[in-house]
C-alpha cells in the first residue's frame, strides 16, 4: 500500500518532508469524508457561478476565470454519484493541481465543506476495500482513520485522468 | 557601488558580461552598440566601460576615442573585448585611449579578474 | 564564482541564426563588380560575433570553423583578397554548414562531421588559393609559442622593475597604484618613488604623471605574470625588468619553445571526386533536396523555450503607457475617496481615459509580439538563387512590404507553406528562358512576394508571370483522378481551387524542387488551421497569383457576442456575413435533413444554438422570433439561430485545453469585462455537431 502513496508524492517538497508522515486536507461529501494531499491544494474558494460547457457530463459544471486562467469545475458529489446538492455562497471549491504527462493542470472541485488538515502516518494507511458500484475505487489511494472517522484518500492525478480532462481523448 | 557600462552588439555576450558583473556586485548598464553607449555615457557617469570592438553604429575603438574626449571620462578605465588575432586592434584601441583589453574567448572568472584589476 | 553559461546558449543560438541569415542575404546581394566595404563589413561582423560567442560558450568546433570564414572575409574586407563568385559560393555553403552545426548543437544531436570537414576543406582551399602565403596559420603558430617552459623559471627569487610612466599614462585609465597592488599580490613588494621629474607647482599639470618608480617584488614569479600587469601600458611607459636569481648568474630564462603546429586543414574527406564528376545533375539535385529536407525537419522541431527580440522603442512606448495608466488610476482613486455626485463628469472623463489607456496598452503589448514578415521573406532570395541556377532559369525575385508586421506565431507557422508556394512558382510557374522568349515574354521571369495589411488581416501574395494554370488540363486531371464527375459544372474559381484538393498535382512530372511530399492540400490545411484562407487566381500564359489571408495575431480576435438564453458566446467577427430576422415563408423543412431558410435564392441550413448546446434558458425556440446569424467557415455557410446579438469587442483568446479539454464547436474561451468566461464558437465544429 505504501508504494501507491509514494507514487503520488513525487515532488521535491514531499521528499523533504518526514517520509513517515503525510498531510491531507479533508473535506466532506454528504456523509462521507475524503482527503487530498495538501501539497496538491492550490487554494480554497467559495462557489461562484460558472460558465457552462455544452455537451459534457453533468458533474463537469463549467469553467471559471481564475486570475486569467480558464479552470474547469467538477462537482465531486455528482462525480461519485452521491446525489446533488444546491450551491450557496458557503459551498466550497478546492482548487487542485494535477499532473498530466509533464504539465500541471489546475482544476476546481466542489465539495460540501472543508474539515481539517490531518497528519497521517503512512503506516496507518489501509488499502481501499471494494466499494462496489457506488464509488470507483480507482480514485482512492487508501483509507485512514482519523479520530474514529474514516477518511478516503483521493488520487488527484487519477481523478483527472479518468475524467478525460487530459485533453487527449477528443470527442 | 561602482557602475559599469557593458557594450556589445551580441546579446549573448552582453548578457554574459552583465550577468557576471552583476553577480560580483557591480551595477551594470548595457548598450547595444557604440552610438547607444555614447548616449548612455553622456547621460550617466560610469566607473568603467567594457566594450566589444566590432560593432555597427560606431565600433568600440571609435567609442573609446569619443569617450576619452569627454571631460568625465578622461581617466575612466575602458576595456575592450577583442579576439586574439586582433593585435592591430589592440594597438588602435590603445591609441584611442583604451586602458586595456580582454582577449576573447574569455570566461567569467577571467573577466572579473580583469575588471578588479582596473576597478581597485 | 561559477556561472552556468548554459543560460546564455539560447540567446547565442538565436543571434547566431540571425547572424547567419544576415551573412546569407549579404552574400547573395553582393555585387561583385561594385560593392561597398560596409557590405562586406556586415558579413564579416556576423561571422566575427559567432566566432566570439561560440568560443566563449565553449563551442570550439563552431569557433574553429568560423575562424576560417572570418579570416577569408577579413582579407576581402581589407582588399587583400579579390572577391570571386566561387569564393562567395564557398562562403554560402559554409553558412549552411554552420547553420546545420548550430542546429545540431542546439538540438543535442550529432554534428555531421563529414559535412563540416568538407566545407572546411573548401574554405581552406579558398584561403590558400588566392593568397599563397596565408598569414592566418603563421600568426597562430607564433602566438602559441610564447609559453615559457616551466623548468626554467624555478630559480627566480624576485624581480627588479624600473617603471617610468609617460606623461599621458593616467589618461589611458591606467593607474600605477592599482598596478602596484597587483604586483604586491604576487609577492612582497617594495617601491621607491623618483620625484625628480615633478615640475614646480606653476608648471604642474595635475592630469599628467611625472613620477617614476623602482619596484622590487620577491618570490618565484614567472615573467609572464609580471608582463601581464604591464601588458596594457607597454607603450605608455619605459619599463625595464631584471630577474633576481636564487643562485646568481646561472641560466637566463630560455625563450625557445616547442613548435606548436595548429592544423587547419581537415583532410578526412573521403569523397570520390571522379564519381562526383560523373554523377548526373539529378542525383546532385536529390542530394540538395535531401539536405533541404533535413534542414526543414530541424526547423520544424525547435527545442527549448522561445524568446523574442524586441525593439527598444516598443518597450519605451509601453513604459510611457503604463506611466499614464498609473496617473489615471491614482486620479480615479482620489476621486473615489471623496466622491460626490457633482464630480460625475470627472469620473466619466477618468473612466474614458482609463479605457483609452487600457486599449493602447493592449495594442502595445500585442505589438511586442509583432515581427516583420522579412523574417520569412529573407530566406527566399537564396531559394530563388539556388533553384534558378539549378534549373537554368532566369528569375528575378521581388520582395514587397517586407516590413509588414505580423504576430510571431504566425510568422513561424507561415514559413513552410510559403516555401512551398514560392518553390512552386519558381519551378512550375516560370518557364525556361527560350520558352519565354518564344512566347514573347521577357527572358527573365518575375516572382513577386508581397505582404500588406488589410483590415485585421495580413495578406501575402505570391505572384509569378509564368505560364499560368491551364483550366482544361486541371479539369481533365481532376476527372482522371476521380476528384470530380465528368459532367461537373465548375466556375473558373472552382476549377483553380482543384489544385488544393488532396491527391492533386499539376506538374507533368515530379521534380525534386517541388511537387513532392506535401501538396497544396496540406498548405491550405495549414493556413486554415491558422484561421486564414488561401485563394488562387490564374491566367493561362500570363501567370498565377496565390494570396493568403491570415489574422494578424492568434492571440486576439475581433468578436461578436451573442446571447442564447442567459449564456453568452463569442463569434469571430470575420466569420459573420449578416444577421437577420427570418420570416415564416422563407423557412423550409427538408424531410430528414433539418431546417433551412432561403437567402437570396440559396437554401442555407439552420443550426439552433440552444439545441446543439442544450441551452434550457433560451428566450425562444421559434425561428421567427429569434435572430439568424449567417456565418461562414471553411467554405460552409449556415445560419445560427440565437436569441440576440450583444456587443462587438476584441477578445483575448484563452486555451480551454490548458486545464480542461477540447470541446466540439468551441475553439477557445475568453474572459469578458465582468470577469466571467465566454466560449468562442468554431463554425466548422458547430456544423459537425449539428450533423450528428
Q: Set out the domains of chain A in order of their start, with CATH numbers.
A: 2-162 (2.40.50.180)
Q: Which of C515, C506, C493, C399 is nearest to C446 (CA)?
A: C399
- Letter string b/e over residues B17-39, b meaning 16 or more CB atoms within 10 A of that residue's CB: bbbbbeebebebbbbbbbbbbbe
Query: Of C479, C481, C474, nearest to C495 (Cα)?
Result: C474
Pair C247, C190: CB distance under 8 Å: no
Query: Is C581 in contact with C624 (CB distance < 8 Å)?
Result: yes
Distance (Å, whole) CA C569 – CA A56: 17
Q: How far is B28 from chain C (nearest CA, A)?
A: 17
Question: Which residue, chain included where needed, has cell 487554494?
Answer: A43
Q: Find the range with the poorest average confidence among A166-170, C19-23, C45-49, C461-465.
A: A166-170
- Subunits that touch chain A (at least 3 Cβ pairs < 8 angstroms)? C
Contact C11 B12 (CB under 8 A): yes
H or E stretch at C248: none
Per-residue model confidence (pLDDT) at position C301: 39
C272 pLDDT higher than 80: no
Q: What is the DSSP letter of B51?
A: E
Q: How far apart are CA A164 and CA A100, in angstroms?
A: 11
Give the separation between CA C56 and CA B16, rounded to whole angstroms.
9
> What residues in B contact C3, CB-CB < 8 Å?
16, 19-20, 23, 108
CA distance C587 to C641: 12
Name the percent of chain C lying above pLDDT 90: 12
Residue of A nearest to C613 (CA): A54
Quick one: which of C596, C655, C594, C652 has its CA closest to C628? C596
Q: Coil, strand, or helix at residue C33?
A: coil
C-alpha grid cell, residue A153 = 484518500
For the stretch C76-101, pLDDT in tens is 887 788 888 888 888 888 899 999 99
Tell whether C664 is within 8 A of chain A (Cβ). Answer: yes
Q: Name the burial class of residue C647, with classes exposed (0-12), middle (13-18) and buried (19+) by CB atoms within 10 angstroms of its CB.
A: exposed
pLDDT at res. B3: 92
Least Cα separation, residue B10 to chain C (angstroms): 7
Most confident segment among C284-298, C382-396, C558-572: C558-572
Residue ranges per domain, chain C? Answer: 5-136, 156-245, 312-368, 372-551, 556-691
Q: CB C48 to CB B83 under 8 A? A: yes
User: How does strand C576-580 pair with strand C627-633?
Assistant: antiparallel
Domain range C5-136, its CATH number among 1.20.120.160, 3.90.1150.10, 3.30.930.10, 3.40.50.850:
1.20.120.160
Q: Which fold has domain C556-691?
A: OB fold (Dihydrolipoamide Acetyltransferase, E2P) (2.40.50)
| Dihedral, B81, B87, B89, B90 alpha carbons, nearest 10 | 60
Inter-chain touch A69–C567, beta carbons under 8 Å: no
Q: Provide the β-strand partners of residue A117.
A: A25
Alpha helix stretches (DSSP H) within chain B: 11-23, 34-43, 60-68, 87-96, 108-119
Calculate the CA C571 to chain-centre distance.
32
Distance from chain centroid for Cα C267: 34
What is the pLDDT averaged over residues B82-100?
81
Question: β-strand A113-121 against C587-590: which pairing, if any?
Answer: unpaired
Integer angstrom CA distances of residue C428 from C386, C425, C495, C496: 15, 6, 18, 15
Substitution target from C14, C46, C52 for chain B, most B beta carbons within 10 A: C52
Q: For residue B44, how many other CB atoms are within 10 A of its CB?
A: 11
Q: Which residue of chain A has the CA closest to C617? A: A52
| Distance from the Cα of residue C425 to its chain's centroid | 24
Please check whether residue C559 is in contact with residue C670, taking contact to mean a CB–CB distance below 8 angstroms. Answer: yes
β-pair type (A92-100, A41-46): antiparallel
Could you list the beta-strand ranges (E) of chain A: 21-29, 32-37, 41-46, 60-66, 69-75, 92-100, 103-111, 113-121, 140-146, 149-154
Question: Is B117 within 8 Å of C178 when comparing Cβ atoms?
Answer: yes
Length of chain C: 692
Three cell numbers written together for C674 = 465582468
Query: C646: pLDDT confidence band, cut at 50, 70 and 90?
Result: very high
Tens digit of pLDDT for each residue in C600-641? 888 899 999 999 999 988 888 888 888 999 998 766 789 999
Cis peptide before B105 (omega within 30 of 0): yes
Q: Do chains A and B touch (3 or more CB pairs under 8 A)?
A: no
CA nearest to C57, candidates C120, C117, C110, C4: C4
Mean pLDDT, rounded, of chain C = 79
Nearest C-alpha neighbor of A91 from the set A75, A70, A71: A75
Measured between CA atoms, how close is A35 to chain C, in angstroms? Answer: 22
How close, in Å, is residue A89 to chain C by CA atoms? 17
**Phi, psi dihedrals of residue C168, rounded to the nearest 5°:** -85, 5
pLDDT digit string (tens) for C511-536? 444 444 457 887 888 787 777 788 88
C-alpha count within 13 angstroms, C-beta hemisphere, residue B84: 16
Q: Is C661 on the interface with A (CB under 8 A)?
A: yes
Residue C591, C-beta contacts closer than 8 angstroms, at least 6 positions apart: none
CB contact under 8 A, C45 and B10: no
Distance from CA of B36 to the nearest CA of C (A): 11
C301 within 8 A of C107, measured Cβ to Cβ: yes
Give how far Cα C642 sits from Cα of A13, C561, C579, C620, Å. 51, 11, 10, 9
C-alpha to C-alpha distance for A40 and A98, rounded to whole angstroms: 7
Q: Which residues of C touch A65 (CB under 8 A)?
A: 671, 675-677
Whole-model pTM: value is 0.46
Cell of C328: 489615471
pLDDT digits (tens, 9 = 90+) for C219-251: 888 888 888 888 888 888 888 888 887 654 444
Size of interface A-C (CB pairs under 8 A): 77
**Topology given in CATH for the domain delimited by B3-119:** Rossmann fold (3.40.50)
Give the H or E element holding residue C586.
none
- Give B106's contacts (C-beta < 8 A, 6+ positions apart): B81, C56
Q: Which residue has the cell 581617466?
A: B75
> Which pLDDT band holds residue C164 (cuts at 50, 70, 90)?
confident
Inter-residue contact C680 to C575 (CB < 8 Å): no
Q: Å from C669 to nearest chain A CA? A: 8
Q: Report pLDDT digits (tens) over C556-596.
A: 778 899 999 999 999 988 889 899 998 888 888 776 668 88
How many residues are there in chain A?
Answer: 171
Q: Count CA within 13 A, CB hemisphere, residue C207.
A: 10
Cα(C496)–Cα(C488) distance, rounded to whole angstroms? 14
The full set of domain ranges for chain B reads: 3-119
Would you say B23 and B66 are in contact if contact means Cβ atoms under 8 Å apart? no
Angle at A51 between CA A45 and CA A56, to 5 degrees: 105
Average pLDDT over every residue of C329-343: 85
CATH 3.30.70 given to domain C156-245: yes
Return the CATH number of the domain spanning residue range C372-551: 3.30.565.10
- Across the interface, do C664 and A72 touch by the CB < 8 Å criterion? no
Mutate to test the interface with A, among C570, C661, C681 (most CBs of A within 10 A): C661
CA dihedral C178, C180, C184, C187 (to 10 degrees): 140
Cell numbers placing B57: 553604429
Query: Pick from C11, C173, C235: which is nearest to B99 by CB?
Result: C173
With 70 as the cut, is the pLDDT of residue C286 above it? no
Contact C658 A53 (CB under 8 A): no
Mean per-residue pLDDT over chain A, rounded: 78
pLDDT at residue C104 greater than cutoff 60: yes
Reported ipTM: the value is 0.83
Measure CB to CB from residue A70 to each of C612, C658, C675 and give the nearest one: C658
Distance (Å) from the C-alpha of residue B97 to the closest C-alpha of chain C? 5
CA distance B39 to B48: 15
CB contact under 8 A, B20 and C49: no
- In 3D space, the residue among C215, C244, C246 whose CA is nearest the CA of residue C230 turns out to be C215
Q: Which of A54, A68, A167 sits opposite C661 (nearest CB)?
A: A167
Nine-digit cell at C295?
534542414
Please give the radius of gyration of chain B, using alpha carbons only, rounded to the nearest integer.
Answer: 13
Q: Please, which residues bridge with residue C600 across strands?
A: none
Q: Name which residue leads in pLDDT, A27 or C589.
A: A27
CB proximity C366 to A under 8 Å: no
Residues of chain C in contact with residue A171, where contact means CB-CB under 8 angstroms, are 662-664
Decide if B13 and C42 are in contact by the 8 Å CB cutoff.
Answer: no
Dist. CA C112–CA C291, nearest whole Å? 11
Residue A73 in contact with residue A109, Cβ under 8 Å? yes
Q: Is the dihedral of CA C177, C183, C188, C190 positive or negative?
A: negative
Window from A28-32, B27-31, B86-90, C583-587 with minimum mean pLDDT:
B86-90
The answer, for B69 touching chain C at a CB cutoff of 8 Å, is no
* Confidence grade of residue C680 (pLDDT, cut at 50, 70, 90): very high
Exposure b/e, A132-146, CB count within 10 A at least 16 = b = eeebeeebbbbbbeb
Using an 8 Å CB-CB cutoff, list chain C residues near B106.
56
Amino acid at each position: 500500500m505504501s508504494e501507491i502513496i509514494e507514487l503520488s508524492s513525487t515532488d521535491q517538497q514531499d521528499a523533504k518532508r518526514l517520509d513517515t508522515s503525510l498531510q491531507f486536507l479533508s473535506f466532506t461529501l454528504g456523509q462521507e469524508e475524503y482527503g487530498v494531499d495538501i501539497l496538491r491544494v492550490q487554494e480554497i474558494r467559495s462557489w461562484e457561478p460558472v460558465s457552462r460547457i455544452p455537451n459534457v457530463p453533468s458533474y463537469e459544471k463549467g469553467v471559471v476565470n481564475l486570475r486569467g486562467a480558464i479552470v474547469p469545475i467538477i462537482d465531486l458529489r455528482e462525480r461519485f454519484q452521491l446525489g446533488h446538492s444546491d450551491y450557496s455562497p458557503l459551498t466550497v471549491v478546492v482548487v487542485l493541481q494535477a499532473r498530466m504527462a509533464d504539465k500541471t493542470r489546475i482544476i476546481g472541485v466542489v465539495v460540501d465543506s472543508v474539515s481539517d488538515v490531518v497528519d497521517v502516518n503512512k503506516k496507518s494507511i489501509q488499502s481501499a476495500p471494494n466499494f462496489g458500484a457506488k464509488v470507483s475505487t480507482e480514485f482512492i489511494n487508501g483509507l485512514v482513520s482519523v479520530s474514529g472517522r474514516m477518511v478516503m484518500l483521493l488520487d488527484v492525478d487519477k481523478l483527472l485522468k479518468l475524467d478525460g480532462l487530459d485533453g487527449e481523448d477528443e470527442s | 557601488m561602482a557602475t559599469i557600462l557593458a557594450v556589445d552588439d551580441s546579446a549573448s555576450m552582453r548578457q554574459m558580461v552583465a550577468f557576471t558583473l552583476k553577480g560580483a556586485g557591480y551595477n551594470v548598464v548595457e548598450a547595444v552598440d557604440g552610438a547607444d553607449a555614447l548616449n548612455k555615457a553622456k547621460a550617466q557617469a560610469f566607473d568603467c566601460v567594457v566594450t566589444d570592438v566590432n560593432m555597427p553604429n560606431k565600433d568600440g575603438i571609435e567609442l573609446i576615442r569619443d569617450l576619452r574626449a569627454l571631460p568625465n571620462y578622461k581617466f575612466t578605465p575602458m576595456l575592450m573585448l577583442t579576439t586574439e588575432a586582433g593585435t592591430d586592434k589592440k594597438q588602435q584601441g590603445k591609441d584611442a585611449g583604451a586602458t586595456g583589453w580582454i582577449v576573447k574567448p574569455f570566461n567569467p572568472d577571467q573577466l572579473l579578474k580583469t575588471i578588479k584589476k582596473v576597478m581597485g | 564564482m561559477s556561472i552556468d553559461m548554459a543560460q546564455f546558449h539560447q540567446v547565442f543560438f538565436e543571434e547566431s541564426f540571425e547572424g547567419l541569415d544576415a551573412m546569407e542575404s549579404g552574400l547573395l546581394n553582393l555585387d561583385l563588380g561594385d560593392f561597398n566595404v560596409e557590405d562586406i563589413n556586415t558579413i564579416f561582423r556576423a561571422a566575427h560575433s559567432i566566432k566570439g560567442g561560440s568560443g566563449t560558450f565553449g563551442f570550439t568546433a563552431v569557433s574553429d570553423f568560423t575562424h576560417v570564414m572570418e579570416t577569408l572575409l577579413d582579407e576581402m574586407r581589407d582588399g587583400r583578397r579579390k572577391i570571386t563568385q566561387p569564393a562567395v559560393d564557398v562562403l554560402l555553403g559554409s553558412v549552411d554548414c554552420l547553420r546545420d552545426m548550430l542546429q545540431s548543437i542546439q538540438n543535442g544531436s550529432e554534428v555531421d562531421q563529414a559535412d563540416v570537414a568538407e566545407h572546411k576543406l573548401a574554405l581552406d582551399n579558398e584561403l590558400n588559393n588566392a593568397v599563397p602565403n596565408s598569414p592566418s596559420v603563421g600568426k597562430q603558430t607564433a602566438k602559441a609559442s610564447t609559453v615559457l617552459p616551466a623548468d626554467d623559471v624555478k630559480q627566480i627569487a624576485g624581480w627588479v622593475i624600473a617603471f617610468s610612466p609617460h606623461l599621458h599614462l593616467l589618461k589611458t585609465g591606467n593607474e600605477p597604484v592599482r598596478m602596484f597592488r597587483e604586483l604586491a599580490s604576487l609577492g612582497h613588494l617594495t617601491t621607491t618613488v623618483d620625484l625628480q621629474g615633478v615640475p614646480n607647482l606653476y608648471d604642474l599639470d595635475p592630469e599628467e604623471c611625472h613620477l617614476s618608480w623602482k619596484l622590487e617584488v620577491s618570490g618565484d614569479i614567472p615573467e609572464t605574470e609580471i608582463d601581464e600587469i604591464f601588458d596594457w601600458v607597454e607603450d605608455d611607459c619605459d619599463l625595464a625588468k631584471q630577474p633576481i636569481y636564487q643562485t646568481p648568474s646561472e641560466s637566463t630564462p630560455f625563450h625557445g619553445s616547442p613548435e606548436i603546429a595548429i592544423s587547419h586543414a581537415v583532410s578526412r574527406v573521403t569523397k570520390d571526386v571522379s564519381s562526383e564528376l560523373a554523377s548526373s545533375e539529378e542525383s546532385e539535385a536529390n542530394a540538395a533536396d535531401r539536405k533541404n529536407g533535413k534542414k526543414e525537419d530541424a526547423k520544424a522541431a525547435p527545442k527549448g523555450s522561445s524568446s523574442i527580440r524586441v525593439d527598444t522603442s516598443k518597450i519605451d512606448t509601453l513604459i510611457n503607457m503604463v506611466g499614464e495608466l498609473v496617473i489615471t488610476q491614482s486620479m480615479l482613486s482620489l476621486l473615489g475617496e471623496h466622491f460626490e455626485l457633482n464630480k460625475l463628469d470627472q469620473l466619466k472623463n477618468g473612466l474614458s481615459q482609463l479605457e483609452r489607456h487600457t486599449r493602447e496598452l493592449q495594442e502595445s503589448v500585442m505589438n511586442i509580439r509583432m515581427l516583420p514578415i522579412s523574417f520569412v521573406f529573407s530566406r527566399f532570395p537564396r531559394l530563388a538563387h539556388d533553384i534558378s541556377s539549378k534549373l537554368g532559369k532566369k528569375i528575378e525575385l521581388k520582395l514587397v512590404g517586407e516590413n509588414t508586421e505580423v504576430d510571431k506565431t504566425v510568422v513561424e507557422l507561415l514559413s513552410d507553406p510559403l516555401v512551398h508556394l514560392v518553390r512552386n512558382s519558381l519551378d512550375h510557374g516560370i518557364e525556361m528562358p527560350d520558352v519565354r522568349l518564344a512566347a514573347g515574354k521577357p527572358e527573365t521571369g518575375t516572382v513577386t512576394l508581397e505582404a500588406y495589411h488589410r483590415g485585421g488581416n495580413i495578406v501575402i501574395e505570391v505572384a509569378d508571370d509564368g505560364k499560368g494554370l491551364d483550366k482544361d488540363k486541371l479539369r481533365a486531371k481532376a476527372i482522371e483522378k476521380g476528384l470530380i464527375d465528368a459532367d461537373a459544372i465548375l466556375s473558373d474559381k472552382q476549377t483553380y481551387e482543384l489544385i488544393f484538393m488532396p491527391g492533386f498535382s499539376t506538374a507533368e512530372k515530379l521534380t525534386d524542387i517541388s511537387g513532392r511530399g506535401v501538396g497544396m492540400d496540406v498548405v491550405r490545411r495549414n493556413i486554415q488551421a491558422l484561421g486564414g484562407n488561401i485563394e488562387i487566381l490564374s491566367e493561362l500564359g500570363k501567370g498565377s497569383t496565390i494570396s493568403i489571408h491570415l489574422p494578424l495575431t492568434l492571440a486576439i480576435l475581433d468578436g461578436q457576442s451573442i446571447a442564447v438564453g442567459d449564456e453568452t458566446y463569442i463569434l469571430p467577427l470575420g466569420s459573420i456575413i449578416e444577421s437577420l430576422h427570418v420570416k415564416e415563408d422563407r423557412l423550409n423543412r427538408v424531410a430528414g435533413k433539418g431546417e433551412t431558410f432561403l437567402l437570396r435564392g440559396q437554401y442555407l441550413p439552420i443550426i439552433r444554438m440552444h439545441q446543439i448546446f442544450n441551452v434550457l434558458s433560451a428566450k425562444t425556440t421559434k425561428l421567427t422570433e429569434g435572430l439568424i446569424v449567417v456565418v461562414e467557415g471553411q467554405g460552409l455557410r449556415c445560419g445560427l439561430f440565437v436569441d440576440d446579438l450583444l456587443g462587438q469587442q476584441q477578445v483575448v483568446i484563452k486555451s480551454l485545453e490548458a486545464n480542461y479539454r477540447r470541446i466540439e464547436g468551441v475553439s477557445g474561451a475568453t474572459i469578458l469585462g465582468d470577469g466571467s468566461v465566454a466560449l468562442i464558437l468554431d463554425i466548422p465544429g458547430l456544423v459537425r455537431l449539428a450533423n450528428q
